[in-house]
């Protein structure tokens, strides 16, 4: 893999010597790989939640893992969750901005001990499961071992340049500190800026989506398979759509139907709670009454399953 301006950039004056770029990448990738093996927790909001969950999972009380994006984090009434479980159990909120199926799967793999986890909940909007560009926003590169990285690169990339760029991003030292290194160093090492990477990925996905599954759905399947393999119940909760939403309602309805058809093939349960009148702040955010209604619906399901006392 030769990382130089000829690979990624049109301006050769911005490139580091190929041998130097390669040396830097190999050193940082080696450090990242070693940190994964040592149980290193990556930086960022999601990382903090992973570390907290790992430290507080208990074999003597029910533990529930909740996955989602920033919308999922803002939707649930976490105070109600905590009060309901009380001293009998804990809910671990693994929701974060920019966290999508790839992040959920890699996080779940870190935490899913059948002796400790009683339930996995995925709070989503249909669009969360169709995010081909989310690979570039991942908070979980540092959690990937070599096998995971190969898998992600296969599903996210169409060419060698893209794969090389993903490996650059996997390097925690480079990616985490690129703002301090400056875009000059980051692009000289062979990577594009985020906007260019997003555009290139979106363009690459257009012809491929018709031929095979998109990357996010691949990781949804991996997540479900992992939960079933470890005999841990998994519940998908689709957030209700504001009936007065703006935008293309027909497209949103079709996308929801497609998601449910796919989830049905995986033989997983999907909960579709409703928000009361006045339960919305806008198209995607819920008022306190909406948050309570959705949380109560989830807690009711957990009571039926015996995870939460009736």
**Sign of CA pseudo-dihedral 198, 200, 202, 208:** negative
In whole angstroms, what separates CA 114 from the centre of its chain? 21
| 3-state helix/strand/coil string of 107-167 | HHHHHCCCCCCCEEEEEECHHHHCCHHHHHHCCCHHHCCHHHHHHHHHHHCCCHHHHHHHH
User: What pLDDT was estimated at residue 26?
Assistant: 52
User: What pLDDT was estimated at residue 115?
Assistant: 83
Place of tokens 């497609």: 258
Give the Cα separation of 265 and 28 in Å (integer): 41
Nearest to 233 by CA among 123, 122, 105: 122
User: What pLDDT was estimated at residue 282?
Assistant: 83
User: What pLDDT was estimated at residue 12?
Assistant: 32
How far apart are the two ends of the chain, measured CA to CA in Å?
58
In order along its 310 residues, the chain shows pLDDT tens digits of 333 333 333 333 344 455 555 555 555 445 444 443 333 334 467 777 887 888 888 888 888 999 988 787 778 888 888 888 776 778 888 887 767 788 888 888 888 888 889 999 999 988 888 755 455 556 566 667 777 777 777 776 666 767 776 776 666 555 556 555 555 665 666 565 555 655 555 555 555 544 445 677 888 999 999 999 999 999 999 998 888 777 777 888 888 888 899 999 999 999 999 888 888 888 778 999 999 999 999 999 988 888 877 7
Nearest to 300 by CA among 263, 277, 278, 274: 274
Nearest to 49 by CA among 108, 113, 4, 92: 92
Domain at 45-130+214-304, CATH homologous superfamily: SGNH hydrolase (3.40.50.1110)
Give the Cα separation of 168 and 190 in Å (integer): 8
Give the Cα separation of 64 and 122 in Å (integer): 11
Decide: 148 and 140 in contact? Cβ < 8 Å: no
CA angle 151, 154, 155 (to 5 degrees): 90
Strand partners, 234: 120
CA angle 154, 155, 157 (to 5 degrees): 70
User: What pLDDT was estimated at residue 295?
Assistant: 92
Decide: 67 and 120 in contact? Cβ < 8 Å: yes
User: What pLDDT was estimated at residue 271?
Assistant: 93
DSSP 243-310: TT--S-HHHHHHHHHHHHHHHHHTT-EEE---PPTT-BSSSS-B-HHHHHHHHHHHHHHHHHTTSS--
Rounded to the nearest 10 degrees, how much is the dihedral formed by the CA atoms of 184, 188, 194, 195? 80
Decide: 43 and 70 in contact? Cβ < 8 Å: no
Q: In 10 A of CB 96, how many CB atoms?
A: 23
Domain boundaries, the chain: 5-40+140-208, 45-130+214-304
Decide: 28 and 10 in contact? Cβ < 8 Å: no
């Amino acid at each position: 893999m030769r990382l130089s301006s000829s690979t990624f950039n049109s301006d050769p004056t911005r490139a580091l010597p190929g041998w130097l770029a390669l040396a830097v990448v190999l050193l940082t990738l080696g450090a990242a790989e070693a940190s994964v093996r040592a149980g290193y927790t990556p930086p960022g909001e999601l990382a903090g939640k992973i570390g907290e969950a790992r430290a507080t999972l208990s074999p003597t009380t029910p533990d529930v893992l909740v996955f989602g994006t920033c919308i999922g984090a803002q939707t649930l009434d976490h105070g109600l969750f905590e009060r309901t479980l009380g001293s009998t159990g804990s809910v671990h909120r693994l929701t974060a901005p920019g966290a999508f199926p790839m992040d959920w799967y890699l996080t779940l793999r870190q935490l899913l001990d059948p002796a400790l986890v009683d339930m996995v909940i995925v709070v989503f909007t249909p669009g969360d499961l169709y995010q081909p560009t989310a690979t570039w926003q991942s908070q979980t590169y540092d959690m990937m071992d070599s096998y995971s990285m190969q898998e992600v690169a296969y599903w996210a990339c169409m060419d060698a340049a893209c794969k090389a760029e993903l490996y650059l991003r996997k390097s925690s030292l480079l990616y985490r500190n690129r703002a301090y290194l400056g875009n000059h160093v980051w692009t000289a090492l062979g990577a594009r800026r985020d906007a260019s990477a997003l555009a290139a990925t979106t363009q690459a996905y257009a012809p491929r989506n018709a031929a095979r599954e998109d990357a996010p759905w691949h990781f949804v399947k991996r997540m479900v398979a992992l939960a079933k393999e470890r005999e841990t119940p998994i519940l998908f909760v689709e957030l209700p759509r504001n009936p007065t939403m703006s935008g293309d309602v027909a497209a949103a309805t079709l996308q929801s139907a497609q998601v449910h058809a796919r989830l049905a093939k995986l033989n997983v349960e999907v909960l579709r709670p409703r928000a009361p009148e006045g339960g919305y702040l806008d198209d995607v955010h819920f008022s306190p009454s909406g948050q309570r209604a959705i949380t109560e619906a989830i807690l009711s399901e957990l009571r039926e399953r015996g995870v939460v006392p009736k």
